[in-house]
Amino acid sequence: MSNCIDISFSTIHYADNTNNSTLQQIDISTMQHKVKVYSVMSQKGGAGKTTLAINLAVQSKLQGNNSLIIDIDPQASATMWADVRGVNNEPLVTSSFAARLNNVINVACENNITEIFIDTPPHSQRDSQIASEISDSIIIPCRPNLFDLQAIDNTIGLAKMANKPFILVFNAIHHTSSLAEEAKQAILNKYGNSINVCPQMIVQRLCYVHASTNGEGVQEYDSKGKAASEIQNVYNYICGHKDTLK
């Protein structure tokens, strides 16, 4: 058994008037805002969305919140992580279609969930746009390489279209390489003050692989390790606790 929750949904209604199926309108009038919603988003695969989403949700739980991961990625990696994690082991995870996010969040509010992290699919502009519209903030993981840097343009565009704040998190950094700082400077040169870059970068470490294989966050796998401190700093920055950065 897993700690995935099963919720009955009705469907969000949206209008689609374009050939490329771009979302034009979404009804979120019933949304209850007793909960903070963060979408972890990248239009490129392999950016580290799921790893970041599950570890942020674990950190949220450790800091006293009732957290939920909504997995709208057809690959269902977060859901499989929950299967390994086991039943009744928070943070809860539920899989959903993007079009039903509003209903899932409303049910989460009724069940005292306080923070939600949406694991979004790559290469699905419509699903990402639905998630953007519903979220309070967009988290964009990015590896310091040319392809990832080029891909963030589309994700930033979705966040701006939804008029939502977004934070770039550099991920899978090689600690002996200067590529991350070079990539950060290139981003700042391109976007200037219009982009918010998390000051804590996430270093590529084997403990992320070991932890996810065990159905754990890195904080649970090694609570005193460097990865645990990195995730705590990223969480504190994203969720507004900047004064607690270590």
**Tens digits of residue pLDDT in 227-244:** 999 999 999 999 876 544
Higher-confidence residue of 64 and 179: namely 64
**Separation between Cα atoms, residue 171 and residue 207, nearest integer Å:** 14
Instruction: Return the pLDDT at 122.
Output: 87
Q: Which structure tokens are listed for 4?
A: 């995935």
Question: Which of 5-14, 115-124, 156-165, 186-195 bottoms out in mean pLDDT, i.e. has the lowest?
Answer: 5-14
Please name the residue ranges forming H helices in the chain: 49-62, 77-85, 101-110, 125-134, 146-161, 179-191, 206-213, 218-221, 226-238
Q: Which CATH architecture fits 30-244?
A: 3-Layer(aba) Sandwich (3.40)
Whether 191 shows a pLDDT value over 60: the answer reads yes
**Tens digits of residue pLDDT in 28-72:** 433 445 799 999 998 777 788 999 999 999 999 999 999 999 999
Alpha-carbon separation of residue 21 from 18, 25, 133, 146 (angstroms): 5, 12, 16, 28
> Do the beta carbons of residue 119 and residue 50 sit within 8 Å?
yes
Instruction: Return the pLDDT at 22.
Output: 36
Instruction: Return the pLDDT at 80.
Output: 95
- Structure confidence at residue 7 as a pLDDT band (50, 70, 90): very low
> Do the beta carbons of residue 145 and residue 184 sit within 8 Å?
no
Q: What percent of the chain has pLDDT above 70? A: 83
Q: What percent of the chain has pLDDT above 90? A: 58
- Structure confidence at residue 176 as a pLDDT band (50, 70, 90): low
**Tens digits of residue pLDDT in 93-136:** 999 999 999 999 999 999 999 999 999 998 888 999 999 999 99
Q: Which amino acid is at 147?
A: F
> Do the beta carbons of residue 126 and residue 98 sit within 8 Å?
yes
**Separation between Cα atoms, residue 100 and residue 89, nearest integer Å:** 24
The per-residue pLDDT of the chain, averaged, comes to: 83
- Structure confidence at residue 179 as a pLDDT band (50, 70, 90): confident
Global pTM value: 0.83
Higher-confidence residue of 21 and 102: namely 102
Instruction: Return the pLDDT at 33.
Output: 52
Instruction: Return the pLDDT at 227.
Output: 95
Instruction: Return the pLDDT at 135.
Output: 95
